[in-house]
Amino acid sequence: MIVRESDDRWRVESGWEQGEALRIERDKEGNVVRLVLAGYPVTREPTLWV
């Protein structure tokens, strides 16, 4: 389960990622440009993140 903390921040309450934050990053126009879970970007394609 995941609960909303604010408009662009959520917290995982149970499961493998319990306690971790999900952050939504937006551009100046308010469009979602990136999701970050536990400090790692969430992508549709596997990538190497450095």
Pairing of strands 32-37, 2-6: unpaired
The answer on pLDDT for 49 being more than 70 is no
Q: What residue segments make up the domains of the chain, in order of their start?
A: 2-42
CB 21 within 8 A of CB 11: yes
Judge if pTM exceeds 0.85: no
Pairing of strands 32-37, 21-26: antiparallel
Over residues 5-47, the pLDDT tens digits come to 999 999 999 999 999 999 999 999 999 999 999 999 888 877 7
Sorting pLDDT into bands at 50, 70 and 90, what band is 4?
very high
